[in-house]
Amino acid sequence: MIVGKLQELVLELKVGDVMTADPITLGPGDRMSDLRDLLRAHHFSGLPVVDDKQLVGIVSVEDFIKFLGNGKDDCAVEEEMTGVVQTLYADDSLTHAIGRFESSGLGRFPVVERSGGALVGIVTKGDLIRGMLRRLEAEFHEEEIHRYRASHLFEDVEADATALTLRYDVAGQDFKRAGEASSRLKRTLSHLGIRPDVARRVAIGCYEAEMNLVIFTDGGTIDAQVRPASIVVEVRDEGPGIDDLEKALQPGYSTAADWVRELGFGAGMGLPNIRKMGDEFDIRSTAGKGTVLTVSFDTSEAGDETD
Ligand SMILES: Nc1ncnc2c1ncn2[C@@H]1O[C@H](COP(=O)(O)OP(=O)(O)O)[C@@H](O)[C@H]1O
Ligand SMILES: [Mg+2]
């Protein structure tokens, strides 16, 4: 029998790992207009009703719509809430929770203490999925760090300064091959023993720069200079250049044609993303001449290990 990763996760994760703890609540005497304000402000689908820490009901968007439909005046939440509430415990497994979601058709469960019944959280289907993705991501990251051997590339080199240049040629307008240079660079950095989190930032930055070469130019080059403590990536093209750099750097600004956007590119987040990925960022452009983008990445162990 093959037990998949997700199967393992739903057994291993508890409701307490994925729930929203200390949720916003209403009291039984709060008004339906208070509920409306909370739904509006937070986009919740439902809120627990709590009296002296004890869960006494749950009131949802559906309850609010029903209330509106009846044309009643503003009233206490307890008149409209569902009073008998199905609950989960923080130490229930996700397998159990998924079963309960399936059999009840409910969209959310309050989470209460086993003894005493005090409310401790609320869990929705979205929380289950987010929780599993978060754990997958964390385990993947751990595994990557474990697999990677501290950079050995420069260990046997005796020199006062060492640099390895990796060059990639990128063809303009070739959407089929767009992204190839960045994935080749990413693979190479990983083979060279570059820290996985740094390699990922380099790859994301390069991918965005490569897309700009493909979309906006007749092609260009990506040069990565790998040194013992840094990687400097230079992306160069010979036109058309950028008229207004300040504008181009703004999130959301794009001159991409409609058909390019239909391919899923041109959200205007490329340059801002590149800037965010690098430790240093510089862009120079002359209209009619071309653009040179330089991004530096610190690869020393002292750099932050967090994500
Ligand atoms: N190498 C380049 N040559 C010419 N124009 C560019 C280049 N890179 C970016 N631009 C201009 O900067 C704008 C913003 O770029 P970016 O943030 O990557 O967003 P997007 O690629 O989604 O349009 C682009 O729409 C384009 O006008
Ligand atoms: Mg772009």
In the chain, where the domains are located? 5-133, 164-298
Mean pLDDT over the full length of the chain: 91
Give the closest residue (by CA) to ligand 1 atom 24. 254
In angstroms, the CA 271 to CA 289 distance is: 19
* Mean predicted confidence (pLDDT) in 274-301: 95
CATH class of 164-298: alpha beta
Give the closest residue (by CA) to ligand 1 atom 18. 270
Q: Which residue has the higher pLDDT, 224 or 115?
A: 224
What's the pTM value of the predicted model, to 2 decimals? Answer: 0.70
State the CATH architecture for 5-133.
Answer: Roll (3.10)
Identity of residue 221: T
Give the closest residue (by CA) to ligand 1 atom 19. 268
Give the closest residue (by CA) to ligand 1 atom 23. 254
Cα angle 162-164-168, degrees, rounded to a multiple of 5: 160
- The preferred substitution site among 216, 222, 235, 269 for testing ligand 1, maximizing ligand atoms within 8 Å of CB, is 216
Q: Nearest Cα to 86, choosing from 149, 15, 153?
A: 15
In angstroms, the CA 252 to CA 282 distance is: 19
Percent of the chain at pLDDT > 90 equals 72
Does residue 291 sit in helix, strand or coil? strand
pLDDT greater than 80 at residue 22:
yes
DSSP codes joined into one string, 108-149: EEEEE-TTT-BEEEEEEHHHHHHHHHHHHHHHHHHHHHHHPP
Provide residues with CB under 6 Å of ligand 1: 208, 212-213, 215-217, 237, 240, 242, 248, 253-256, 266-272, 291
Q: Which residues contact 184 (CB under 8 A, 6 or more apart)?
A: 168
